């Protein structure tokens, strides 16, 4: 159906967008009935919030053409269609000549110049980025030394915040693409990428998933770790170690697409990350043999917004009789020494490495904790490496002069499982808890991460039974699984990884864990709660898909720190949000046909 796009768009918004948001939602008070008339006399009627929002999206995305069938798709099909045709493309970035400026200058801090850091050991990449940036004198290319980087060097680039290059593929002559989380984020994030990749694989986006995996491997090879994100202020910080689970998921979905040499290279990088990052006793391996998160570096994280730490800094500013900004400046310059504040920021940087930034669970303690989540993930790393070694390398893989057998990895996993039982499992309460290695005591805290041994497969069936009985009823809310207990009396801003908020990665991991141990009904219940909230948001709010939700209220309207990425857009969501998109696709595997029908009927109930 051919239309006059500007004319129809203006008429639709004038009648139905009474809030002036350039979207059509349940909050608009128009007649909820609009007729589109084509030049040839054809007419298309749309009634109700959901169908009017679909019409708006199709007008905006089209070039004067509307497919009436796209307006009336039921929600599950409509959301899937938008993800396939629009969202993944919108979230995809590539650091090439056409995009480098847009990606580079989306920094968390203002800068008169753009700084692009390229590993000096990557001669092909260095030559490429120098060539494409030659026309931009405001971009400075900085060759980055090989890791480990000294504190002196890191301090020297502190006030030159910039982008870290990703893999340039000399064979194709292009940088490898990657998918960003969404919203204001233009960099590639660590653990986000694993969940995004699961969604990409679900949609058959194998080349894009492979490109992201290669970019992750590039970071480990040239920056020393899978980074929190590829910005210079993240050089000291990793994120939950999902690189090997990502590799295993990719091989399971499309292993026939890659060569044995490709896989061997990535196996070596997986082992390097495991040995050098996570089993390093100077940083992330504790004295009890279990692992912790540990954000290296010094001082406060420089990517945070101005004033983010005022609730903590004010105490020290008062102690010194200084305004908080003046104290902050003097502390940053090393002219005021406060060991307790130094330690606070060690814990804060470690919390940010965990991906759970921020949560009361880790307040002023994160670096002291052998955490349930990181040890569960590393157990999965070890068992994935064992399985890959068996399946593709005949039970033995050689790397840098050392031979790693599948039995070696199974022994590592068994050792970790035994230590988790010794230190993290609490039989009386029927759950795993983080363990404070400094105090020698457990840290009882209700958290979705207590359930991650289900996903990893490192608990016994009896433990799984108790975990599901003791933890899931407290965490499962009307809108899905809550991240952690509600801590309304915690100091500072309301923490986005505390209750009542819920996030896609926890849902995805826990659904898989429940299914693994035979709790299919519980997995279906949890997935249905999350998807019902998600689909309701899309049908009521013009297709909206955000990074997090208030699962107690089953609402995208949250009051926590940082707001809610993905909530603000015009006409059509700008890609949704990466891991939430993936959760929508993956969650449907756990649902019955009857549950799917309930979700589709939400479109008809929105204006009831």
Estimate the crossing angle of helix 48-61 against helix 593-605, to 10 degrees.
90
Beta strand pairing status for 163-164 and 114-119? parallel
499/557 Cα distance (integer angstroms): 14
Q: What is each CA distance from 457 to 128, 262, 382, 512, in whole angstroms?
A: 44, 28, 11, 10
Buried b (16+ CB within 10 A) or exposed e, 121-132: ebeebbebbeeb
Q: In terms of C-beta density within 10 A (0-12 exposed, 13-18 middle, 19 or more buried), how is residue 473 classed?
A: exposed
The residue annotated as part of the active site, out of 357, 363, 512, 522, is: 357
Tell me, letter by letter, the H, E, C secondary structure of 188-236: CEHHHHHHHHHHHHHCCCHHHHHHHHHHHHHHHHHHCCCCCECEHHHCC
The residues near 394 (Cβ < 8 Å, ≥ 6 apart) are: none
Place of tokens 């500007």: 6
370/441 Cα distance (integer angstroms): 11
H/E element holding 580?
helix 578-587
188/192 Cα distance (integer angstroms): 8
| Dihedral pair phi/psi, residue 365, rounded to 5° | -150, -10
C-alpha distance across the termini of the chain, in Å: 30
Q: In terms of C-beta density within 10 A (0-12 exposed, 13-18 middle, 19 or more buried), how is residue 68 classed?
A: middle
193/199 Cα distance (integer angstroms): 10
Rg (CA), the chain: 25
200/180 Cα distance (integer angstroms): 12
Encoded tokens for 202: 């679900």
Is 547 annotated as catalytic?
Answer: yes
CA dihedral for 320, 321, 324, 329, sign (positive or negative): negative
Beta strand pairing status for 92-93 and 178-179? antiparallel
Q: Is the peptide bond before 500 cis (omega within 30 degrees of 0)?
A: yes
| Dihedral pair phi/psi, residue 603, rounded to 5° | -65, -35
Please list the active-site residues: 357, 547
């Amino acid at each position: 159906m051919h239309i006059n796009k500007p004319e129809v768009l203006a008429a639709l918004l004038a009648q139905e967008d009474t809030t002036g948001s350039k979207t059509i939602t349940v909050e608009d008070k128009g007649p909820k009935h609009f007729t589109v008339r084509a030049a040839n006399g054809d007419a298309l009627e749309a009634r109700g919030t959901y169908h009017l929002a679909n019409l708006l999206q199709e007008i905006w995305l089209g070039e004067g053409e509307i497919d009436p069938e796209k307006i009336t798709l039921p929600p599950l099909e409509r959301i899937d269609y938008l993800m396939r045709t629009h969202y993944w493309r919108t979230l995809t970035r590539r650091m090439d000549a056409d995009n480098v400026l847009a990606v580079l200058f989306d920094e968390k801090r203002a800068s008169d110049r753009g700084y692009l850091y390229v590993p000096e050991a990557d001669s092909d990449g260095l030559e490429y980025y120098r060539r494409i940036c030659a026309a931009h004198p405001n971009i400075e290319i900085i060759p980055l030394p090989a890791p480990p980087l000294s504190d002196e060097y890191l301090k020297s680039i502190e006030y030159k915040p910039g982008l870290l290059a990703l893999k340039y593929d000399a064979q194709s002559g292009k940088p490898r693409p990657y998918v960003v989380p969404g919203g204001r984020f233009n960099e590639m994030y660590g653990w986000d990428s694993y969940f995004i990749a699961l969604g990409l694989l679900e949609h058959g986006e194998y080349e894009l998933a492979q490109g992201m995996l290669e970019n992750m491997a590039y970071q480990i090879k040239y920056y020393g770790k899978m980074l929190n994100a590829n910005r210079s202020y993240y050089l000291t910080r990793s994120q939950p170690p999902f690189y090997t689970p990502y590799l295993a998921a990719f091989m399971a979905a499309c292993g026939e697409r890659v060569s044995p040499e490709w896989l061997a290279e990535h196996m070596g990088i997986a082992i390097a990350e495991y040995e050098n990052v996570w089993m390093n006793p100077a940083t992330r391996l504790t004295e009890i043999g279990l692992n912790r998160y540990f954000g290296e570096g010094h001082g406060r994280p420089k990517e945070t917004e101005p004033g983010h730490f005022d609730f903590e800094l004010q105490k020290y500013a008062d102690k010194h009789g200084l305004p908080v900004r003046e104290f902050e400046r003097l502390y940053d310059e090393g002219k005021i020494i406060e060991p307790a504040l130094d330690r606070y920021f060690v814990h804060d940087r470690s919390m940010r490495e965990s991906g759970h930034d921020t949560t009361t669970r880790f307040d002023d303690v994160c670096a002291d904790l052998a955490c349930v989540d990181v040890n569960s993930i590393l157990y999965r790393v070890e068992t994935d490496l064992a399985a890959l070694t068996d399946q593709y390398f005949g039970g033995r893989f050689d790397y840098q002069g050392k031979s790693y057998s599948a039995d070696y990895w199974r022994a590592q996993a068994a050792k970790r499982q035994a230590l988790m039982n010794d230190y993290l499992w609490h039989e009386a309460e029927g759950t795993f808890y983080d363990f404070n290695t400094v105090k020698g005591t457990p840290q009882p805290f209700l958290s979705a991460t207590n359930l991650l041994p289900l996903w990893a497969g490192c608990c016994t069936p009896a433990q799984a039974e108790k975990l599901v009985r003791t933890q899931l009823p407290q965490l499962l809310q009307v809108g899905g699984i809550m991240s952690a207990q509600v801590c309304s009396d915690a100091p500072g801003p309301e923490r986005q990884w505390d209750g009542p908020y819920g996030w896609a990665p926890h849902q995805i991991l826990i659904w898989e864990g429940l299914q693994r141990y035979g709790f299919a009904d519980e997995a279906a219940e949890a997935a249905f709660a999350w998807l019902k909230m998600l689909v309701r948001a899309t049908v009521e709010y013009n297709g909206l898909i955000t990074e997090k939700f208030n699962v107690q209220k089953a609402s995208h309207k949250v009051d926590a720190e940082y707001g809610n990425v993905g909530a603000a857009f015009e006409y059509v969501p700008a890609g949704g949000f990466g891991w939430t998109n993936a959760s929508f696709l993956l969650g449907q595997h756990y649902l019955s046909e009857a549950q799917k029908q309930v979700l589709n009927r939400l479109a008809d109930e929105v204006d009831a």
